[in-house]
Amino acid sequence: MLSSLSEGVRQYLLITFNYWSFTLTDGALRMLVVLHFHQLGYSPLEVAMLFLFYEFFGVVTNLVGGWLGAHIGLNATMNAGLLLQVAALSMLLVPQDMLTVVWVMAAQALSGIAKDLNKMSAKSAIKTLVPANAQGTLYKWVAILTGSKNALKGVGFFLGGVMLSLWGFREAVLLMVAALAAVWVFSIMNLKKSLGKSVNKPRFSQLFSKSRPVNSLSAARLFLFAARDVWFVVALPVYLTSAMGWDHWAVGAFLASWVIGYGFFQSIAPRFTGSAAGKVPDGVAAFRWAVALSLVPAAIALAMAQGVGADASLLLGLMVFGILFAVNSALHSFLIVSYAREEGVSLDVGFYYMANAMGRLLGTVLSGWVYQTWGIGSCLWISSVLIALSAIVALSLPRGSAATAV
């Protein structure tokens, strides 16, 4: 059946399979680390610090990874990401008394490098598989890849919580090592060797984008993802366990449902933003959807402060947040691939995801610190402000056709 498909579609399916497999382990690992180390008595800020290097090295990887992908090919960077994740997971198989903060941070650093090599490669590769005049197709392919990835990350959250409850930390990690190693071997054998390799090798000095649309969109992305992670990474799972008394599997199930729903709406975002009518979104759409999103965490914080069904307001409000955030994220993911240059696409995409990683880094640190100091309500207010900043930056994005960055 696969042999009857075009080469471009087969490569797209393989890239998606790689991305899906990696994402399952990434989501499960995130939940395992948060819940396991909170159970060991780590404070919210200490748990957040475990992810500090994960996010920091994601910043570095996205910046350098785009340049590397243009030189050695996106197949090499994607496979390197898979192998590094296997190594990062293997580092966590040491005896319990060796799982110190420094050791776990080092393993998370390696995982952060792996994750962003894999993501940058997948997003950049799609640009090379779709004709320049097929922007509608590009939007749909990006939305499907990104949405399905996030849905599976949600499944990973759930699996992480379940595996921790049923088998324990070490056994769960061992299973993920074996599964991802098999995926890496399959990818080495089947991914096209010349994928994404630039004809004109970019200089290292070209890492920073000179495109105003790319720079503006990157700044908007930074604020958007900081706004999500300021409550999502540490504050919410710790609040659910400590304030609401949820078990590990219940926390994993809720976060999984949130991310799966987010991924589903992300994959069908073109229906909400005009693509179904033959239109593609522009900077105005990014601004409007960000404004709508900024109202949600503020409304949740107000409801909780007034005691209006605090827990129900939080959970239902975050579901609404997930839907609107999915559309915002899908818009950004399409716009960056659309703005990126045909020659050296990985450079622009890598720079953009560097800003994405910086946003996650900021949000992660704030999530532990703000929650520990002031509580989850303050996390939500900060989230609203950060999204408003993202909307303001989006005002500088091009209006009309987004096909070309200038």
Q: What was the pLDDT predicted at 377?
A: 95
- Is residue 106 situated within a structural domain? yes
Q: Which amino acid is at 21?
A: S
Domain of residue 157, residue span? 7-196+205-394
**Nearest CA-CA partner of 26 in 89, 79, 96, 104:** 89
User: pLDDT tier at 373 (50, 70, 90 boundaries)?
Assistant: very high
**Nearest CA-CA partner of 347 in 222, 207, 218:** 207
What is the token pair recorded at 315?
Answer: 């959970």
Are 79 and 184 a contacting pair, CB within 8 Å?
A: yes
- Is residue 402 situated within a structural domain? no
pLDDT surpassing 50 at residue 92 = yes
Q: What was the pLDDT predicted at 68?
A: 73
**Nearest CA-CA partner of 293 in 326, 335, 257, 260:** 326
Q: What was the pLDDT predicted at 402?
A: 46
Q: Rounded distance, CA 220 to CA 282, Å? A: 13
Q: At what angle do helices 345-374 and 212-232 cross, to 10 degrees?
A: 30
Q: What was the pLDDT predicted at 53?
A: 84
- Is residue 401 situated within a structural domain? no
Q: How many domains does the chain have?
A: 1
pLDDT digits (tens, 9 = 90+) for 165-180: 888 888 999 999 999 9
Average pLDDT over the chain, rounded to an integer: 82
Give the angle subtended at the CA of 229 by the CAs of 211 and 264, to the nearest 5°.
Answer: 80
Min mean pLDDT across 152-166, 192-206, 304-318, 344-358 is at 192-206
Over residues 280-309, mean pLDDT = 92
pLDDT surpassing 70 at residue 275 = no
pLDDT surpassing 50 at residue 87 = yes
User: pLDDT tier at 405 (50, 70, 90 boundaries)?
Assistant: very low
Are 140 and 223 a contacting pair, CB within 8 Å?
A: no
Q: Which of 25-29, 62-66, 288-292 holds the top average pLDDT?
A: 288-292
User: In terms of C-beta density within 10 A (0-12 exposed, 13-18 middle, 19 or more buried), how is residue 302 classed?
Assistant: middle
The length of the chain in residues reads: 406
CATH number at residue 184: 1.20.1250.20
- Is residue 2 situated within a structural domain? no
Q: What was the pLDDT predicted at 209?
A: 60
Residues of the chain with pLDDT > 90: what percent?
A: 31
pLDDT digits (tens, 9 = 90+) for 9-61: 677 677 778 888 888 888 888 888 888 888 888 888 788 788 888 888 878 88
- Is residue 349 situated within a structural domain? yes
Are 212 and 396 a contacting pair, CB within 8 Å?
A: yes
Are 72 and 197 a contacting pair, CB within 8 Å?
A: yes
More confident residue, 251 or 65: 251
Over residues 390-400, mean pLDDT = 91
- Is residue 100 situated within a structural domain? yes
